[in-house]
Amino acid sequence: MIPIPTPINEPVDSHAPGTAPRARLEATLRAMSSAPPLEIPAIIDGKAVRTGKLLPVSMPHQHRRVLAQAHEAGEAEVSAAIDGAMKVATEWARTPFETRAAIFLRAADLLSGPHRARVNAACMLGQSKTPHQSEIDAVCELADFWRFNVHFLRKLHDEQPLSPAGQWNRSDLRPLEGFVFAIAPFNFLSIAANLPTAPVLCGNVALWKPSTTSLFGCWYVLEILREAGLPDGVIQLVPGEGPVQGRVALSSPHLAGIHFTGSTGTFKALWRGVADNLDRYRSFPRLVGETGGKDFILAHASAEPISLATAIVRGGFEYQGQKCSAASRVYVPRSLWPEVRDRAVADTKQMKVGDVSDFSTFCGAVIDQRAYQRIAGYQKLAHDSAKVLVGGTSDDSEGWFIAPTLVEVDDPKHRLMQEEIFGPVVTVYVYDDARWDETLALVDQTSPYALTGAVISRDRHAVEQATRALRNSAGNFYVNDKPTGAVVGQQPFGGGRQSGTNDKAGAFYNLSRWLSPRSIKETFVPPTDFRYPYLGESK
Residues that bind ligand NAD (CB under 6 A): 183-188, 191, 209, 211, 241-243, 245-246, 261-263, 266, 269-270, 290-293, 324, 420, 422, 451, 493, 495, 499-500
Residue nearest ligand NAD, Cβ-based = 246
Check if the beta carbon of residue 179 is closer than 8 Å to that of residue 90. Answer: no
| 290 belongs to the catalytic site | yes
Give the residue among 290, 303, 319 at the shortest CA–CA distance from 450. 290
Whichever of 170 and 415 has its CB closer to ligand NAD, that residue is 415
Whichever of 121 and 184 has its CB closer to ligand NAD, that residue is 184
Which element (helix H / strand E) includes 490?
A: none
| Closest distance to ligand NAD from the beta carbon of 484 (Å) | 11
| Closest distance to ligand NAD from the beta carbon of 438 (Å) | 28
Which element (helix H / strand E) includes 520?
A: strand 515-523
| Closest distance to ligand NAD from the beta carbon of 420 (Å) | 6
What is the rounded CA–CA span in Å between residue 301 and residue 313?
19
Check if the beta carbon of residue 31 is closer than 8 Å to that of residue 37. Answer: no
Whichever of 149 and 245 has its CB closer to ligand NAD, that residue is 245
Whichever of 200 and 440 has its CB closer to ligand NAD, that residue is 200
| Closest distance to ligand NAD from the beta carbon of 167 (Å) | 42
Give the residue among 365, 429, 443 at the shortest CA–CA distance from 402. 365
| Closest distance to ligand NAD from the beta carbon of 217 (Å) | 13
Which residue type occupies 220?
Y
Choosing from 77, 135, 290, 420, the catalytic residue is 290
Whichever of 247 and 460 has its CB closer to ligand NAD, that residue is 247
Write the CB contacts of 39 (distance below 8 Å, at least 6 apart in sequence). 50, 68, 69, 71
Whichever of 242 and 517 has its CB closer to ligand NAD, that residue is 242
Whichever of 115 and 294 has its CB closer to ligand NAD, that residue is 294
Pairing of strands 286-290, 255-261: parallel
SS3 track for 327-339? EEEEEEECCCHHH
| Closest distance to ligand NAD from the beta carbon of 501 (Å) | 10
Query: What is the sign, positive or negative, of the torsion defined by CA atoms of 318, 320, 326, 332?
Result: positive
| Closest distance to ligand NAD from the beta carbon of 288 (Å) | 11
Choosing from 202, 218, 324, 363, the catalytic residue is 324
What is the rounded CA–CA span in Å between residue 307 and residue 290?
29
Check if the beta carbon of residue 277 is closer than 8 Å to that of residue 250. Answer: yes
- DSSP label at 363? B
| 123 belongs to the catalytic site | no
Give the residue among 281, 289, 288 at the shortest CA–CA distance from 250. 281
Write the CB contacts of 309 (distance below 8 Å, at least 6 apart in sequence). 339, 340, 343, 344, 347
Give the residue among 408, 399, 407 at the shortest CA–CA distance from 353. 399
Task: Please state the φ and ψ torsions of residue 235, each to the nearest 5 degrees.
Answer: -120, 120
| Closest distance to ligand NAD from the beta carbon of 508 (Å) | 17
H helices, E strands: number in the chain: 17, 23
Whichever of 140 and 340 has its CB closer to ligand NAD, that residue is 140
- Catalytic positions are 290, 324
